[in-house]
Amino acid sequence: MSAPVVGERDGILFGAAIAGTVDAVVQWIELGFLPGLTYENAPGSGRGHHWLNPLTPIRLRTSATGESVSIRSWYCDEHLTHRET
């Protein structure tokens, strides 16, 4: 199955949960297919998931609690791609 090219999005902001060193962003998703039928790949979800959690390396930085990290995402040819902004 081939996905359509959706194009680059404006950006996604993530807030750091705790202060520390940041070197990557990991993504997990929840998809709703039908009422009551969802799929997710969250770590430790306990469900029979098989999709990997995408990991986006970013430049090493020290962040404060709540500080934002921004990435851009786009979907092309069955892949969701990210880059730091």
Whether the CA torsion 77, 52, 74, 58 is positive or negative: it is: negative
- pTM, 2 dp: 0.49
pLDDT at 76: 64
Please give the span between the terminal C-alpha atoms of the chain, in angstroms, as a whole number: 30
- List the beta bridge partners of residue 70: 13
> Residue 13 in contact with residue 68, Cβ under 8 Å?
yes
**pLDDT, tens digit, for every residue of 39-65?**
777 776 565 556 677 777 878 888 888
**pLDDT, tens digit, for every residue of 1-12?**
333 334 445 556
Spatial separation of the C-alpha atoms in residues 56 and 25, rounded to whole Å: 5
What b-and-e string marks burial along 44-66, b requiring 16 or more CB atoms within 10 Å of the CB? eeeeeeeeeebebebeeeebeee
Mean pLDDT of 16-39: 80
